[in-house]
């Protein structure tokens, strides 16, 4: 029953599997017994698979991985800045900074096959690139190429650089002059589009921003400047860009397979990508709120957008990327830190006010298994962000069976909920 979450009731919801071979399933001729059993079985599969989403490992703060470098250069303590899943080598790849952005000089690429229990260096025992202005975003394609965008001030001249690590841990770092100096960025790999990697970024100059778009088939040093294709509202505007987020419909059934959001207080924007066309699809509710997360739930066939206005956090859902419905208001939260979906669940990362058990400013993970109506808290609690550090969005990442979450202080992984996503050598 692909694309159906199921319910614990006997009478099934809309069924999209063959009925009994002689008639099509409908409310007039449903075979209640077998189809009801299928319905409950699908619900049970979703429920059991999702249990691990609520159980998280102990948070990890800055750590010293010097021992894994085999006597090579010891970077000292590292802080996770962005992470992506590599389906080819079945590992998480994290980009770490050896100090707070603005005061350090090194970016270190590390990989883990054990959800953070042990890490291995990528690219030997040297820094993957200088990034004293911060690490902005990363993504990995289907054959093990990982792209990390970061910024560096070269003798006082800031530049944006793109670091590429292959599955064999060969690392290259190139300056992309046409990107200028990005303040925020998000990198996405979309299969089946012909372009491969998409790098959306924003330059910041005082109270105004300028949008950027670059594409690359494999994330190597050759990137195409596609900024001229950005819609007007995304190409430039007023306000400070606090982050960028993206969501992908892996089923390819949506009008726009890729949605990318520009997070600006009271002026957030969303664009949809379809082939070579990039269209402004910003919903009206963002006129007074700051976007914090985008995700597609393939089980429920719903898009989700998480946003905040300083007094609460809100989850909106949509079936068509046009009409959006308010699914949940988190009145005790102030910041929307990320949104993901897995096994029919919505998973939201929120920063809470003081509500007793959850100290003010701490980040929480909340989960909903019924489409956003009822929610429960995961066994997850990260200290609030260090305001001196800049952490790229998104801060909540799913590989399909496991979650990784981070802020400027610590990071954590959920316990794995199933087999790792299809891929490998």
pLDDT value at residue 347? 93
- pLDDT block averages, 10 residues each, the chain of length 425: 62 51 53 67 73 84 61 66 94 83 70 87 64 85 93 80 91 91 93 81 94 94 93 93 92 92 92 87 93 93 92 93 95 84 90 65 83 87 56 78 85 85 79
Q: What percent of the chain lies above the pLDDT cut of 70?
A: 78
Topology, domain 55-413: Methylamine Dehydrogenase; Chain H (2.130.10)
pLDDT value at residue 376? 87
CB atoms within 10 A of CB 157: 8
CB atoms within 10 A of CB 206: 7
Contact 197/217 with Cβ under 8 angstroms? yes
Q: Tokens 């002689």 correspond to what residue? A: 22
276, burial (CB in 10 Å: exposed 0-12, middle 13-18, buried 19+): exposed
pLDDT value at residue 1? 40
Q: Mind listing the pLDDT tens digit for each residue in 13-54? A: 555 454 455 555 555 555 666 666 777 777 777 777 677 788
Q: Per DSSP, which regions of 6-133 are E strands?
A: 79-86, 91-97, 107-112, 120-121
Phi, psi of 244, rounded to the nearest 5 degrees = -140, 145
Domain boundaries, the chain: 1-54, 55-413
Q: Distance (Å, rounded) from C-alpha 351 to C-alpha 334?
A: 6
Q: Mind listing the pLDDT tens digit for each residue in 95-116? A: 988 765 555 567 888 899 988 8
pLDDT value at residue 12? 55
pLDDT value at residue 392? 56
226, burial (CB in 10 Å: exposed 0-12, middle 13-18, buried 19+): middle
Q: Distance (Å, rounded) from C-alpha 63 to C-alpha 76?
A: 8
């Amino acid at each position: 029953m692909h694309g159906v979450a199921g319910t614990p009731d006997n009478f099934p919801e809309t069924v999209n599997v063959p009925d009994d071979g002689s008639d099509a399933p409908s409310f007039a001729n449903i075979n209640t017994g077998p189809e009801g059993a299928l319905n409950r079985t699908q619900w049970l599969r979703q429920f059991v698979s999702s249990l691990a989403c609520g159980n998280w490992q102990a948070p990890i703060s800055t750590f010293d991985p010097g021992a894994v470098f085999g006597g090579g250069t010891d970077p000292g303590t590292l802080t996770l800045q962005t992470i992506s899943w590599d389906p080819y080598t079945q590992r998480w790849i994290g980009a770490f900074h050896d100090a707070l952005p603005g005061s350090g000089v090194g970016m270190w690429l590390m990989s883990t096959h054990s959800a953070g229990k042990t890490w291995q260096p990528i690219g030997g025992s040297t820094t993957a690139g200088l990034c004293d202005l911060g690490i902005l975003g990363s993504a990995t394609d289907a054959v093990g190429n990982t792209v990390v965008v970061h910024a560096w001030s070269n003798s006082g001249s800031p530049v944006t650089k793109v670091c590429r690590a292959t599955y064999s841990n060969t690392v290259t770092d190139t300056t992309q002059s046409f990107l200028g100096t990005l303040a925020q960025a998000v990198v996405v790999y979309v299969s089946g589009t012909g372009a491969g990697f998409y790098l959306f970024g924003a330059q910041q100059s005082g109270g105004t921003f300028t949008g950027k778009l670059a594409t690359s088939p494999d994330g190597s040093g050759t990137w195409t400047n596609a900024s001229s294709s950005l819609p007007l509202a995304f190409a430039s505007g007023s306000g400070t860009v606090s982050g960028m987020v993206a969501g992908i419909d892996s089923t390819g059934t949506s009008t726009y397979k890729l949605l990318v959001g520009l997070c600006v207080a009271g002026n957030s924007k969303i664009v949809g990508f379809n082939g070579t066309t990039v269209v402004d699809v910003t919903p009206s509710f963002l006129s007074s709120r700051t976007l914090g997360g985008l995700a597609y739930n393939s089980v429920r066939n719903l898009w989700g957008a998480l946003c905040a206005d300083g007094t609460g956090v809100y989850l909106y859902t949509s079936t068509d990327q046009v009409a959006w419905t308010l699914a949940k208001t988190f009145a005790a939260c102030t910041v929307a830190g990320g949104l993901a979906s897995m096994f029919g669940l919505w998973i939201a990362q929120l920063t809470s006010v003081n509500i007793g058990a959850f100290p003010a400013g701490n980040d929480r993970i909340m989960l909903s298994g019924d489409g956003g109506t009822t929610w429960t808290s995961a066994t997850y609690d990260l200290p609030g962000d260090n305001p001196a550090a800049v952490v790229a969005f998104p801060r909540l990442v799913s590989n399909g069976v496991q979650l990784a979450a981070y802020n400027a202080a610590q990071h954590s992984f959920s316990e794995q909920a199933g087999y790792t996503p299809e891929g490998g050598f």
